[in-house]
Amino acid sequence: MAKIGIVDTTFSRVDMGAIALSKVKENSEHEIERYTVPGIKDLPVACKILFEKHNSDIVLALGMAGPKPIDKQCSHESTLGLQTVQISEGKHILEVFVHMDEANTEKELYEITKNRTEKHVVNALELLKGKESLSKYAGMGRRQGKEDEGSIKLEK
Amino acid sequence: MAKIGIVDTTFSRVDMGAIALSKVKENSEHEIERYTVPGIKDLPVACKILFEKHNSDIVLALGMAGPKPIDKQCSHESTLGLQTVQISEGKHILEVFVHMDEANTEKELYEITKNRTEKHVVNALELLKGKESLSKYAGMGRRQGKEDEGSIKLEK
Amino acid sequence: MAKIGIVDTTFSRVDMGAIALSKVKENSEHEIERYTVPGIKDLPVACKILFEKHNSDIVLALGMAGPKPIDKQCSHESTLGLQTVQISEGKHILEVFVHMDEANTEKELYEITKNRTEKHVVNALELLKGKESLSKYAGMGRRQGKEDEGSIKLEK
Amino acid sequence: MAKIGIVDTTFSRVDMGAIALSKVKENSEHEIERYTVPGIKDLPVACKILFEKHNSDIVLALGMAGPKPIDKQCSHESTLGLQTVQISEGKHILEVFVHMDEANTEKELYEITKNRTEKHVVNALELLKGKESLSKYAGMGRRQGKEDEGSIKLEK
Amino acid sequence: MAKIGIVDTTFSRVDMGAIALSKVKENSEHEIERYTVPGIKDLPVACKILFEKHNSDIVLALGMAGPKPIDKQCSHESTLGLQTVQISEGKHILEVFVHMDEANTEKELYEITKNRTEKHVVNALELLKGKESLSKYAGMGRRQGKEDEGSIKLEK
């Protein structure tokens, strides 16, 4: 039994934390710690706190970024912080970021967000099993938030 | 009772520190430490000093960025420094940055700045209460400096 | 006898891990540790874990990046993480990244990927031999994934 | 009595170190340590050495950047290094960077450089007095290298 | 007597390591440690190893970057790594990077590379003498790889 941290934001227009929570419960018996922060740039330190103070084994960092160039800069800054936390802790953070310009309608935005969040919950559960648990899918062009692109193999 | 650090700049055209100070006092009994630096890139080390030498529990980093591309670069650099400080301290810094090209008039610039600063003071007060204090607003599309965008829910 | 870490992704459309594994076995007796992660931004912490928990002496970080600007941002973020891990460990990570817009067809993408992966396996084996093992090729315009460009020498 | 570090470059077309030295002497009795490096990217480690080996209390990092995009990249890289040093030392570095495309003539470039350098010397002297020494100028739109922009206040 | 580290790459089209080696020997009796890596992003960890395992006092990091935007990204990433190493070691790395789009012909590329490498060897020798050894050239607009731009002085 492991402990999964889930951090989400009040900025997001979709309740990504609720989606992740219910997917974890549907697929595992792992313990869950939730943390909600204002926006995407507040995620890294929350992950750090989930590892250090709440003994999480892996964290899902759930964020939505606005459609403008400055929003891409924010998600970039957050990602760099998430890299720093992962490396210093030696533990995975699965970054589930949705950019609002990925979708043309609110419905599509919701669907991308739900699909990406749920698939990364499954990835997190696999990573908890061991470093070769995902090797069966290596190089298969898997995508989160949209359809898989598949593997390219050379004909003999 | 916690201690809230407030760092502001002489570069900003709005007295963000005064706005934050009065909002903290209006909503809490927390102790306050203020620090004023020249510009946005001086904020991270000031936050570090507020945590290390003045025992702040959370810091509000208040800055204004000019309208040019080089100014976006400056705010980016400052943000990366703020990420480093937060992660090494394991404590939140709420970054309250206003870009001068967000507004068309001085009046609008003032209003965005005041709104964003005050809303982030409220976020800071919530974060001090615990990691799930903001969960009631998770995924609700909350914004600082402008109107909330609201939550997207799928019809059943 | 050294230990070579190999990290690959489920995002990649080519099974880079398999290509690397077979090239290492073809050219050496070194021990191998494999790790598969979802995407390119999950590589750095996996490298860290391969060094710290699995005693790897060098790691090959194999990733494919999509064709869009946001994908370039992701590979950039991953690279910065890989830099941090290398520097903190004092050990090389050979980054083998393929950008999907480098190729016009799936066949070409496969060939670039195979060529780059195999050549970097050879580089890794050289680096394990010592710091001057590659000096015989210094300044020779060697390329991975395409033809070498060769050395420029001044006529006397 | 404090010790002020001054780092300048041989790349700069204006002798920024000399301007800073004479301004410090004109306004204080503080001890000074000077360090000259080739270019802007050599500043961060020189600051580190001024703090660690020469016990500086604050450092002025004086640099000039060329007019091309690659030069902006260099100044960005230097700034990130300066952030890292400041945060690890818990001490301020006042970055005084001039971009050659800020001016249309050599005379103007000289004047911007002198103005910015001297104003930041004064800022450094204030910061040495304490964290609220600059609070009297908070939000006043102060600029270095050009005219102040002034404070925006709402009419009652 | 100091020890100078020299790291070069097999990617470069000019044998920068050989140029540096012969210039160091021509101008000093310092000991030299050479390290050759595949490309520009492998330089930082090699510098770290030259400092930590081979006791270098200063390192010359010699690299050539391709002409495309992705190549600029690579040199940027390498530079950030070099910053991290310098700051953690408290020792200078002189970065000698040549961008292939700086030259129009192979001959010109060779000449820029040779000039920049040799001038930075001289800079390294000066830095080894002390922190004010280059102060006589402060603000003189010195350039590596091309002609100096000279100092701007105000007429009285």
What pLDDT digit, counting tens, does each position of B29-68 carry?
999 999 999 999 999 999 999 999 999 999 999 999 999 9
Smallest Cβ–Cβ distance between C13 and the set A72, A131, A152 belongs to A152
Q: Tell me the domains of chain C and their CATH numbers.
A: 3-137 (3.40.50.960)
Q: Chain centroid to CA E35: how far?
A: 14
Query: Any CB–CB contact under 8 A between E137 and chain D?
Result: yes
* CB < 8 Å to B95, chain A: 41
Smallest Cβ–Cβ distance between D87 and the set B37, B84, B110 belongs to B84
Task: Check E77 against C72: CB less than 8 A apart.
Answer: no
Is A70's pLDDT higher than 80? yes
Query: Any CB–CB contact under 8 A between A144 and chain C?
Result: yes
E32-83 pLDDT tens trace: 999 999 999 999 999 999 999 999 999 999 999 999 989 999 999 999 999 9
Using CB atoms within 10 Å of the CB of residue B11, give its burial: 0 to 12 exposed, 13 to 18 middle, 19+ buried.
buried
Taking CA atoms, what residue in B is nearest to D135?
A: B36
Q: Do chains A and E touch (3 or more CB pairs under 8 A)?
A: no
Can you name the residues that pair with C35 across neighbouring β-strands? Answer: C7
D70-111 pLDDT tens trace: 999 999 999 999 999 999 999 999 999 999 999 999 999 999
Query: Any CB–CB contact under 8 A between B49 and chain D?
Result: yes
Query: What's the one-letter identity of residue B2?
Result: A
Distance in angstroms (rounded) separating the CA atoms of residues E91 and D54: 14
Query: Any CB–CB contact under 8 A between D89 and chain E?
Result: no
Helix (H) or strand (E) holding B112: helix B106-129
Contact C63, C6 (CB under 8 A): no
C76-129 pLDDT tens trace: 999 999 999 999 999 999 999 999 999 999 999 999 999 999 999 999 999 999
pLDDT reported for residue E13? 98
DSSP letter, residue A136: G
Task: Check D18 against E139: CB less than 8 A apart.
Answer: yes
pLDDT reported for residue D156? 55
Stretch among B106-115, C146-155, D58-67 having the lowest mean pLDDT: C146-155
Using CB atoms within 10 Å of the CB of residue D26, give its burial: 0 to 12 exposed, 13 to 18 middle, 19+ buried.
exposed
pLDDT reported for residue B153? 85
pLDDT reported for residue B154? 78
Q: What is the mean pLDDT of residues B130-149?
A: 97
Is E156's pLDDT higher than 60? no
Query: What's the one-letter identity of residue B86?
Result: Q
Going by C-beta distance under 8 Å and a sequence separation of 6 or more, which residues neighbour residue A126?
A133, A134
E113-143 pLDDT tens trace: 999 999 999 999 999 999 999 999 999 999 9
Long-range Cβ contacts of B120-123 (<8 Å, 24+ apart) = B120/A38, B120/B60, B120/B94, B120/B96, B120/B144, B121/B20, B121/B23, B121/B24, B121/B27, B121/B60, B122/B23, B122/B27, B123/A10, B123/A38, B123/B94
User: For A65-105, where are the alpha helices, taking DSSP H only?
Assistant: 69-89
Is C156's pLDDT higher than 60? no
Is D69's pLDDT higher than 60? yes
Q: E153 falls in which pLDDT band (50, 70, 90)?
A: confident
CA-CA distances (angstroms) from residue C13 to A112, A139, A154? 21, 5, 12
* CB < 8 Å to E78, chain C: 83
Task: Check D17 against E139: CB less than 8 A apart.
Answer: yes
B8-28 pLDDT tens trace: 999 999 999 999 999 999 999
Query: Any CB–CB contact under 8 A between E35 and chain C?
Result: yes
pLDDT reported for residue E72? 92
Q: C154 falls in which pLDDT band (50, 70, 90)?
A: confident
CA-CA distances (angstroms) from residue B122 to B21, B32, D138? 12, 14, 22
| Mutation site for B-interface testing, chosen from D131, D153, D156 by largest number of B Cβ within 10 Å | D131
The mean predicted confidence, pLDDT, of chain C is 96
Chains near B (3 or more Cβ pairs under 8 Å): A, D
* CB < 8 Å to A73, chain B: 72, 76
Can you name the residues that pair with C8 across neighbouring β-strands? Answer: C36
| Mutation site for E-interface testing, chosen from C59, C73, C78, C83 by largest number of E Cβ within 10 Å | C83
Q: For residue B15, give both structure tokens.
A: 């007295």
pLDDT reported for residue C112? 97
Report C:91-130 residues touching E (Cβ under 8 A): 91-95, 99, 120, 123, 127
Closest CA to C121 of C81, C62, C79: C62
Query: Any CB–CB contact under 8 A between D69 and chain B?
Result: no
A133-155 pLDDT tens trace: 999 999 999 999 999 999 998 76
D128-156 pLDDT tens trace: 999 999 999 999 999 999 999 999 987 65
Distance in angstroms (rounded) separating the CA atoms of residues D42 and C93: 26
Work out the number of other CB atoms within 10 angstroms of the CB of residue C94: 27
Is A156's pLDDT higher than 60? no
Q: For residue E2, give both structure tokens.
A: 């100091």
The mean predicted confidence, pLDDT, of chain B is 96
Of all residues in chain B, the percent with pLDDT exceeding 70 is 99
Taking CA atoms, what residue in A is nearest to B101?
A: A70
Task: Check E144 against D38: CB less than 8 A apart.
Answer: yes
3-state secondary structure of C115: helix
Query: Any CB–CB contact under 8 A between A139 and chain C?
Result: yes
Chains near E (3 or more Cβ pairs under 8 Å): C, D
Task: Check A13 against B87: CB less than 8 A apart.
Answer: no
Distance from CA of A18 to the nearest CA of C (A): 22
Distance in angstroms (rounded) separating the CA atoms of residues C135 and D50: 36
Distance from CA of A11 to the nearest CA of B (A): 4
Q: What is the mean pLDDT of residues B106-125?
A: 97
Query: Any CB–CB contact under 8 A between D71 and chain E?
Result: no
- In which residue are the tokens 């060098």 written? C58
| Mutation site for B-interface testing, chosen from D73, D82, D98, D135 by largest number of B Cβ within 10 Å | D135
Task: Check A134 against C84: CB less than 8 A apart.
Answer: no
3-state secondary structure of B4: strand
Q: C31 falls in which pLDDT band (50, 70, 90)?
A: very high
Is E155's pLDDT higher than 80? no
